[in-house]
Amino acid sequence: MKSESNDKCSSEKKTKASELRSAFEIFDAGFFSDSTVLELAKSATEINVPIIKANRRLVASENGGLSDPSCLIFNPEWIGEHAVKPNATKKFNYPSLSGLQKPKAEEDIAFMSVLELGELIRTKQITSQELVRIFLERLKRYNHVLESVITVTDELAYKQAREADELIRNGEYLGPLHGIPYGLKDIIAVPGYKTTWGSRNFRNQVLNIEAWVYKRLKFAGAVLVAKLVTGSLAYDDIWFGGRSKNPWNIEEFSTGSSAGPAASTSAGMVPFAIGSETAGSITLPAARCGVTALCPTFGTVGRTGVMSISETLDKLGPICRSAADCAIVLDAIRGKDPADISSREIPLLDPFSVDIRKLTVGYMDDADMEVVNVLKEKGVNMVPFKLNYTVDSVQGILTFSMNVEMLAHFDEWQRSGQDDAHEAQEQWPTVLSCTRVIPAVDYVQAQRARGKLIREVKESFTVDAFIGNATDWERVCLGNLVGLPVIVVPTGFKNISNPEGARRRTPVTTGIYARPNHDHTALALAMAYQSVTDHHKQRPPIDNLGPSDTI
């Protein structure tokens, strides 16, 4: 009797699977197996339908689409004919560090700021080749612990360093990034080197493309020493070589797909790195690893030569140890990329010249009050603040926006079955399989809901900036959908339950959010806070973990 029941159940499942596969043929997606289509039907019911209904309630109640137009607007501008706004390309006025002396210990050199290292280069107290040697040694020394490096670019680094030193000898100084080593997240292409996207499917891929951001840094005289870990296909911290760890606690993972840039910068393996953010990929690992990082206004930095997840969300930004360093790096990489129609000449003010006493800054319920009090003492008008909006499907809107655009970029990857070899099966393979059954009309409804969210946030943004938790998922989604720049700032540490003698701690951070195109405001406030605090100068205990810690 039991056997008959099992046979009947199995027969019903096969019939249902067959029907579903026939339905998928309409989407030209009949390549899924029986077990997969049954799981997709379950996922679509549990995940997709609630989001679809929420977006319909928000923006699809009236015919004609006039009241809530999409935030996705066709740009008729022809590439290369962009009109530059006045002062859009004016360089920032960096502070002087006259009298700075080179430390004796290489460990101290490794944790100097970009500005400080630049001054040592400018005054010929150190050469770029010396810096390259120091940081290459650290990259190789600590990578076996942190698993944060994919490719060390020794040959290129020394070549670029020799060129930088030759310019200095000839009396030519390019600015504060001249001769400074750095790392790139390995979704950014550099000719002659692998660009693996963190995936075993692409681990031998060489893209003979010079990414725009790499060109900008090369023009500024910076020296590439490593391609750093990206989570596989820019999702979290799992990649084909392992899983990147947090230098402050090696039993904890870095989290976020810019895991390598954040961990390597935190550990003094590079002075700065370039990460990317679609939904938390800069902010989350920066917070976990206790570094300062800027997720800039969408369109500030060109994305040519960079693996794309979502063309309406992807951003490149600096991961550094201080806000001043973030400003310096941003100044070098910002501007119109002729091949990226989303990039713009954003007329940022000089963050080093912003008078913060003229600013009104809100603080949310989850703001770090030390930051609030420090800025208040510096003359900033600090007021309680809440960001009000009625859109109740923010996370769902981001899910539809990111996943649909991601699947468009990796359609063949899924169709050819390469997703079966993915490092983390519960990540992109599961997500993108479910995405296959999002109707186009409901993707558009999500964009209309996104437009509604943008208008509501704009109306509610009554301050120059606000301070709040940088890792709250709802806020991460909202900030990326609206295009708010945010800088993650270390504000202290919490003790954790350590083995006896261990020095591991958990970094505490906060976020400073500004209006779109006002990255300078967030940077200026962060620099003001860091001018009287030293949380961002602390070093993780990777050389002195304690007697109970093993590597």
Residues tagged active-site? 185, 257, 281
**Encoding tokens for residue 404?**
């649909």
Reduced to 3 states (helix: H, G, I; strand: E, B; else coil), residue 495 is: strand
Q: Report DSSP state, residue 420.
A: G
The burial class, CB within 10 Å (0-12 / 13-18 / 19+), for 431 is: middle
- Rounded Cα distance between 198 and 540, Å, is 25
Q: Report DSSP state, residue 281.
A: T
201's CB contacts (< 8 A; 6+ apart) are 413, 418, 421, 422
Residue that the structure tokens 């010396």 belong to: 130
Dihedral of the alpha carbons of 44, 48, 54, 55, in degrees to the nearest 10: -130
Give yes or no for a contact between 512 and 293, defined as CB atoms under 8 angstroms apart: no
**Encoding tokens for residue 465?**
């900036």
Give yes or no for a contact between 30 and 51, defined as CB atoms under 8 angstroms apart: no
- Rounded Cα distance between 237 and 259, Å, is 6
549's CB contacts (< 8 A; 6+ apart) are 250, 499, 501, 502, 504
**Phi and psi, residue 32, nearest 5°:** -75, 150
